Structure formats: structure tokens, C-alpha cells
């Protein structure tokens, strides 16, 4: 399996994509001009494929867009003591919205970022963001 990331602001060239140690680059393909890419529902200038997924930080730092290649099913379980919406995935891990105070459905519709709950606790602090290649599916 490979993990694909699209460059939306500039072609992929030296210094324009991460080179994490131990994560092999499998393919780099720059387009002749901007092209609409259905997988990310926007225009891009090219893509790069890696052997393993990139971190949220790498994707954000290099302004890449990840193809959502994995689904994670999330079930709403309630709010934490700060009023953040909390979900449990099929592996028993807890996730929570960090920046959304609107009704839960609005947070989902806006694509508010989900964060793991530290110590996998209902009242745990938001820890690390969900990996960019994961598409949450709310059940």
C-alpha cells in the first residue's frame, strides 16, 4: 500500500516535500498545469507517494493534501468536562473535537479536526491530531 499526497500550491521539487527518515518515496508526478483531482475534490499541481503515512505536522508544514485512504468509524459517546464532543472508534480509542462549539452535526459538516484523547480518557486533554489519510465516518 502507498500513501498519496497532492501539492496544491506549488510543483513538487527539492525542498517542497518532506523526506522523513525511513519513509521511502515511491513516486513523484508533477502535472503540466493545474488539474482537478477527484480524490481531493480540488485542483493540484502534482502528487507524491510514500511507503508509510506522513504525520499531520509534515502534511501541514509542506501544504500537502492527503488522499483519504482509510476509514475510521466513530460513535458519539458524549461530552467531556470542557464541553468537547467525544467519540469512540472501533479499536476503543477516544477522539474529540477541539475547536468546535457548534452543534455536533455542524462540527462534522465543517470537518473540524479530531484529536486523540490523552490516556484514552473521556476527560483527557486533546493529544495528537488524527492522521491526514484517515477519513472519519460517524455512526
> Which tens digits make up the pLDDT trace of 29-72?
999 999 999 999 999 999 999 999 999 899 999 999 999 989 99
Residue 117 — left, alpha, or beta (φ > 0 → left; ψ -120 to 50 → alpha)? Answer: beta
DSSP per residue, 106-134:
HHHHHTPPEEEEGGG-TTPPEEEEPPTTE
- Give the pTM: 0.76
Amino acid at each position: 500500500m502507498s500513501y498519496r499526497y497532492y501539492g496544491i500550491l506549488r510543483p513538487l521539487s527539492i525542498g517542497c516535500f518532506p523526506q522523513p527518515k525511513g519513509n521511502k518515496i515511491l513516486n513523484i508526478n508533477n502535472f503540466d498545469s493545474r488539474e482537478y483531482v477527484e480524490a481531493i475534490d480540488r485542483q493540484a499541481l502534482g502528487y507524491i507517494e510514500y511507503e508509510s503515512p506522513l504525520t499531520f505536522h509534515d502534511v501541514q508544514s509542506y501544504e500537502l493534501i492527503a488522499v483519504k485512504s482509510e476509514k475510521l468509524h466513530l460513535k458519539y459517546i458524549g461530552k467531556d468536562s470542557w464541553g468537547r464532543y467525544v467519540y469512540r472508534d472501533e479499536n476503543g480509542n477516544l477522539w474529540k473535537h477541539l475547536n468546535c462549539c457548534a452543534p455536533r452535526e455542524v462540527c462534522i459538516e465543517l470537518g473540524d479536526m479530531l484529536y486523540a484523547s490523552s490516556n484514552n480518557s473521556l476527560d483527557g486533554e486533546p493529544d495528537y491530531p488524527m492522521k491526514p489519510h484517515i477519513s472519519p465516518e460517524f455512526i
